[in-house]
A and B are shown apart, each in its own frame.
Chain A
Amino acid sequence: MPLRSDIKRVLVIGSGPIVIGQAAEFDYAGTQACKALKNYGLEVILINSNPATIMTDKAMADKIYIEPLTLEVIRRIILMEKPDSILSTLGGQTGLTLSMQLAKEGFLDAHGVKLLGANLETIEKAEDRQAFKDMMREIGEPCIPSEVVVTVEDAVRFAATIGYPVIVRPAFTLGGTGGGIAANQQELEEIATHGIRLSPISQILVEKGIAGWKEIEFEVMRDAKGNVITVCSMENFDPVGIHTGDSIVVAPCQTLSDKEFQMLRTSALKIISALKVEGGCNCQFALNPENFNYAVIEVNPRVSRSSALASKATGYPIAKVASQIAIGFSLDEIINEVTGTTTACFEPALDYIVVKFPRWPFDKFVYAKRTLGTQMKATGEIMSIGSSFEHAMMKAIRSIELGMETLTVEKLVEASDEDIMKMLADSDDERSFVVYEAIKRGVALDTIFAITKIDKWFLDKLRHLAVMEKDLATLGLTEERIRVAREIGFLDKTIEELSGEKIQEDPKTYASFKMVDTCAGEFAAQTPYFYSTRDKENEAALFIEEHPSGKERILVLGSGPIRIGQGIEFDYCSVHCAWALREKGYEAIFINNNPETVSTDFDTSDRLYFEPLTKEDVRSVVETEKPIGAIVQFGGQTAIKLTRYLEEMGVPVLGTSPANIDAAEDREVFDQLLETCNIRRPQGETVYTTTEAVEVAERLGFPVLLRPSYVLGGQNMIIAYEREDVVEYMDIITAVELENPVLIDKYLMGKEVEVDAISDGESYLIPGIMEHIERAGVHSGDSISVYPPQTLDQRTKDTIIDYTGRLVKALDIVGMVNIQYVIYEDEVYVIEVNPRSSRTVPYISKVTDIPMVNIATKMMLGDKLADLGYAPGLYPEGDYVAVKVPVFSFSKLQDVDTQLGPEMKSTGEVLGVAKTFADALYKGLVASGRSMERSGGVLLTVKDRDKEAIVEIGRQFHEMGFVIYGTVGTALILNENNIPTKVVRRLAESKPNIGDLIESGKLNYVISTSSKGRMPHHDDVRMRRKCVETSIALLTSLDTAQALLDCLKSNRTMAEIELVDIKDIR
């Protein structure tokens, strides 16, 4: 079956902002889909609210709407653009749910739009718990005893019949939001209440706990002819019960005999055939480790995080093939691009092992509950490829960037045996390290298995690493030990540190590289996709020899796993950098380890090395590739950190020099530089101890801002209003080893402004100035950012342009720089200078139509601004206003305070684009998930400093007709100002109190600010958490509240606001 003739115009729905459970993997999938569709000459109409994506790039689609992903907006786009079909399976759960709703309400049929990838029946069967169970029964596939219920009473009744523990899974929620394991009736009541509320159809599944069973996944493909294949099998290190997104996962399965493997494989094929999916599908199984019993846990009839992982693990492009199937091709008609001679209708054979390791945000949210369960908590993940589990695991540990080189965690080394045994029972983010520590202490593997149910095969492998670590430390180096240690993934640096000896070797040897080729070497392949091993044959070197291009090679360092503060934006930048290098006639050599991204698609660069981003790992790539230079500006702090090492290796860092990169980050050098530029910054000093900190803070005057130097995303940054805050902070920060000092700055409560500038070393271009809605003190990544600025006068703008010029020249910036300013009492101060690309680059590139990364890359290669056709200075503002609104994942993380502050908390962002600021903001807020109700109830509870300002806000709500509630202090001042406010008791006080009010459903908005935060037991924090759990719009900055009020008062609705094709705005 070739391309269907009835398909000409396809609407592709993206997945929206990055949230926990739905990350960059859908940009990867969406980008592959768009490319595939366009490749067949189809017109592609794209909608995605996330501007930091490659898929929303000009070249990716014919029409691109960066608009809120709501039914209303999509209906309008369908009416305007008249697509003949809609691709539902590549935009994550968001895209699938929206497509399903449109199909269900008959809108698609009414407008002649076909659903591609999965039809309505398929989606319903897979997504509706009961329908799914019924289908499984029909085809004779076992499910876990479970029942779909809509009330807590029914949940309890059913649990009584199957016995505890039970697992609660709410229907239609992302990443299992609101689910959990209940050990008894009380817990069940709590979880069920929560789950029913969060499920859009108020439905939960209560199922029998099958703790200890193995969790196995299959990625399956099917075409319209009925051809079915499995692309990849995956086995979770952790047994059933921990969300697969939070599990260490290996591919292929390791502990299953062929009989067990084929049993599950056959089941997966049976399921996808029964569902009649046309494309990709993910099947999750629980397998009893004691016999052949298994149960189907879940099926996702769409491209998913697991399919992205499977694609990268095997080299098989699932999303691309799924798109081709969706438009009519059969698997045997699609060419396997890896070999070029065989088809996509085969099952990849691996000759390596892949380990996926999650990256959790607990380093950032120190008070978050770290227990892992059915609710995914990881923001990102890394993948590593090795010739053994040990090898891949060691690479994984380096790739997650927690500063570890082995599985040894210092604080666990110090823990007592008793504590370690206790911790073994906790399924949290550190469990693998606790297991390792227990093994090192000689705890029997059987004992560890009994507690953790982690298969003994994995435990035995960890034991090998533990034994090697110990042997290196106690027995010293032999040629053999060095060889084996390297083979199982120890870095030379680690070997030398553990043994205290130098490796004597002449000449020094480096890792060699093997190809990922989908076929275990059976066929000659052309994939420029490599991983390191310690084998002698270096296929990458052979590949380079066999494919002489005559081009010089440039290394691009990626940004590693997605985490708060270092998200998809950096991948966007890295990809554009690689493209620019190729455009300029260089070979782009990529090193990265994030399986969710476009950058790790092997056709993005000339050669991809899937490796940890450490000095030594990069060194081996350098030895093979011999690049003429490296680019670090686009890989976030991950890449910047490697600058110094690249220089040591003799690899020139292109663009801004390493010395100047250091100058921007080194406090004292930077201060001097500002002085010579005659630019002011908030006063500040560097300290190492608590005493020093208190002294400095008192000298500067409160409030002060505290942060460690060398940070990204405002990690561990706070505003201290009094002495106690400083002490609390310093005690926490000095608890871990303090390599870099702590910076204390006078905190200026002004307007924050940000610019990204591009410079060729002589002239510079500022594509745009961005103004933040929230005053300084809210991290720039968490602020609503507006382009062009709406409240800056010309004088201020001129000052900013001038200062930017001075800084660019002083730092001799070549390439990109991001500068943050605060405007306080009409004075412009510099807050920080980042000599690299920033998270605003993708959105500014899109709204100004300046390909910023492309230009910056070319400048690093020697092009001048004038040659590229741009005039220096500030680029003229366009007719449209763009508002970037942050998106948070608070509902997935328990005990995290939602109060915004200097430490970044958002996981993603959306963009609103319109002709006026008000409309753009309105769109942005809608896109970020705000429901924009114009009547109802609002609860105000603010700290003393905000009491004055809350009056105005209260008045506006009152005038709109909102019922106003307030805690004692806030209510008092509001009532004094003639704003009728009902007083609510605090959480700690007697019932009914604020908690009951929140649960009553009477509230539409809560505005809460407090001077104390973070600690989960704080009254305010608990109250805010309750809002998150009940999905009430919560605002923690009065500036955000005012912006929201402006929107509400405008009386505009989405229906009145023009939808904008981003390609038309310039």
Chain B
Amino acid sequence: MSYYKRDKRAWLVLSDGSVFEGYNFGCEGTTIGEIVFTTGMTGYQEVLTDPSYYGQIVLQTYPLIGNYGINSDDMESERSWINGYITKEWCEEPSNFRNTHNINEFMIEQDKIGIWDVDTRAITRVIREHGTMNGAITTEDIETTKEALMEKIHAFKVVNPVQAVTRKNKGWYYSQVNRANHVALIDYGYKHNILRMLLRLGCNVTVMPANTTIEEIRMLNPDGIMLSNGPGDPAENIEIIENLKDFVKYGKPIFGICLGHQLLALAMGGETFKLKYGHRGMNQPVKDVTRDRVFITSQNHGYAVVPESIPAEVGKVTHFNLNDGTCEGVEYPDIHAFTVQFHPEASAGPNDTGYLFEQFTDLMERGQQGCL
């Protein structure tokens, strides 16, 4: 055909057996993953490179993907972590001053399999009604391979995702506008914009692997600890949760985002549960109870904290989701910790809750002055 590569068929198979026929982009082959949809209308590059999508096949509900191409600045990690990509349409000739190559080239470079020209809205509705489910994208003839594929789809499970995405060694980053706060950023699959935000606020940052122990923290002697976002079921991270139980006794301010929020809740005696189909997008309204304000937030999570599970004496819910009432933020006053389920670092998404980073640096400054 005259535009885009319509020469290669591809199929999307869901664990309920339904099949959607489309075209292949990116690499050829077969990939299996947990199918999730995200409703953001911009920020596909950030989605592709957000480690929280590890193991997932991501569907973009917005139909036109790749319009402004790919650039070197908007990477949220060094690579793409998704297992597959579903779009209505991708853009072969992107237009933007920062564009370096198109999304198809990026997918090939990242060794990712994509399918396009499928009824993305119909698939979204299926997931909405049935909940998140496994599925596969394949470019191999579906007639002959479906049976074997279905078995693999049912057997698929994301295993140890945090261990897969976290960095193995420390990394040091120094701010240009040094206000001398030193943050230990624990990498459960952190989005680079968390780092950028901290640097912008004058923090020096040491990025630490997911399994960092309290001893290692002590040696680092940071002013605050940042618990990053990351993929998967929080409750699986038993060792990390144990470490966090030590962190909270350390006495330095802690700020948790997304998985970091869930992990701290678990460490503090709370519980988490799996949402039917998660929150993924950048239009989620979150009520900040203390400010009596609603903020539009960027989100990407499949699990949530059970708000009642947080023991009243250790923490209180500070934010909740205006759409479904789920827990969006907890404050633990005694340990100078606060965590949010959404992404104040945005990227992609609204910057409306960036003030939380300032709240964190303020806490650290007060800590430095001994006024916590």
Q: Which residues of A contact B (CB under 8 A)?
A: 225-230, 252-259, 261-262, 265-266, 269, 289-291, 331-332, 341-343, 345-353, 387-389, 455-457, 460, 463-464, 467-468, 471, 480-481, 484, 487, 514, 519-524, 535-537, 539
Contacts and interface: CB of A to CB of B under 8 A. Distances in A.
Nearest to B127: A521
Interface string B172-185: 00000000000000
Interface in B88-142: 88-89, 91-98, 117, 119-122, 124-125, 128
B106 to A, nearest CB: 14
B294 interface: yes
21 contacts: A225-B293, A228-B352, A254-B67, A256-B42, A258-B46, A258-B349, A266-B351, A332-B287, A347-B350, A352-B63, A387-B63, A388-B88, A457-B68, A457-B91, A467-B3, A471-B2, A480-B6, A520-B121, A521-B39, A521-B124, A522-B128
B281 interface: yes
Contact of B64 (A262, A265, A389): A389
Chain B interface bracket (under 10, 10 to 19, 20 to 34, 35 or more): 35 or more
A884 B169 CA distance: 81
Contacts of B119: 535-537
A258 B62 CA distance: 14
Given A350-B41, A484-B6, A520 B292 contact: no
B40 interface: yes
Contacts of A291: 97
A332 B294 contact: yes
B71 interface: yes
A255 B64 contact: no
Nearest to A291: B97
A297 B284 CA distance: 29
B94 A457 contact: yes
A218 to B, nearest CB: 12
Given A256-B42, A257-B74, A346-B284, A225 B67 contact: no
A332 B39 contact: no
| Interface residue SS majority, chain B | loop
B102 to A, nearest CB: 11
A265 B350 contact: yes
B95 A258 contact: no
Contacts of A353: 63-64
A262 B40 CA distance: 12
A624 to B, nearest CB: 16
B78 interface: no
B322 interface: yes
Contacts of A347: 282-283, 296, 350
Nearest to B119: A535
Contacts of B352: 228, 266, 269
A227 B42 contact: no
A143 to B, nearest CB: 21
Contact of A258 (B39, B61, B74): B74
A266 B42 CA distance: 15
- B117, B284, B285: residue with the most chain A Cβ atoms closer than 10 Å: B285
A229 B295 CA distance: 8
A331 B89 contact: no
A535 B121 contact: yes
A535 B97 contact: no
Interface string B9-53: 000000000000000000000000000010111110110000000
Contact of B42 (A226, A261, A348, A387): A261
A736 B91 CA distance: 39
Given A291-B97, A343-B322, A521-B121, A351 B61 contact: yes
B151 interface: no
B121 A537 contact: yes
B347 interface: yes
Contacts, number: 168
B293 A535 contact: no
Contacts of A259: 73-74, 347
Given A253-B42, A464-B2, A522-B124, 20 more contacts: A257-B42, A257-B74, A257-B96, A258-B40, A262-B349, A262-B350, A348-B283, A350-B41, A351-B61, A387-B88, A388-B63, A455-B95, A460-B95, A463-B3, A487-B117, A520-B39, A522-B281, A523-B323, A536-B119, A537-B121
Contacts of A343: 285, 322-323
Interface in B255-300: 281-285, 287, 292-294, 296
B219 interface: no
- A256, A289, A349, A353: residue with the most chain B Cβ atoms closer than 10 Å: A349
Contacts of A463: 3
A348 B352 CA distance: 16
Given A342-B323, A346-B322, A460-B95, A258 B283 contact: no
- A258, A261, A341: residue with the most chain B Cβ atoms closer than 10 Å: A258
B291 to A, nearest CB: 9
A293 to B, nearest CB: 11
B62 A332 contact: no
Contact of B40 (A255, A349, A524): A349
B348 interface: yes
B1 interface: yes
Nearest to B125: A521
Contact of A468 (B2, B67, B117, B125): B2
A257 B121 contact: no
B64 A388 contact: yes
B41 A349 contact: yes
Contacts of B323: 341-343, 346, 523
B330 interface: no
A353 B121 CA distance: 13
Contacts of B3: 463-464, 467
B57 interface: no
A407 to B, nearest CB: 16
Given A457-B91, A468-B2, A523-B323, A350 B62 contact: yes
Given A262-B349, A457-B95, A351 B62 contact: yes
Interface in B205-233: none
Given A481-B1, A484-B6, A521-B125, A332 B285 contact: yes
Nearest to A386: B63
Nearest to B279: A522
A519 B68 contact: no
B346 interface: yes
The 3 A-B residue pairs with the shortest CB-CB distance in the complex, in nearest-first order:
A258-B43, A457-B95, A520-B61
Contacts of B41: 252, 349-350
B1 A484 contact: yes
A229 B296 contact: yes
Contacts of A266: 350-352
A225 B293 CA distance: 7
Nearest to A487: B117
A487 to B, nearest CB: 8
A797 to B, nearest CB: 60
Contacts of A387: 63, 88-89
Contacts of B287: 332
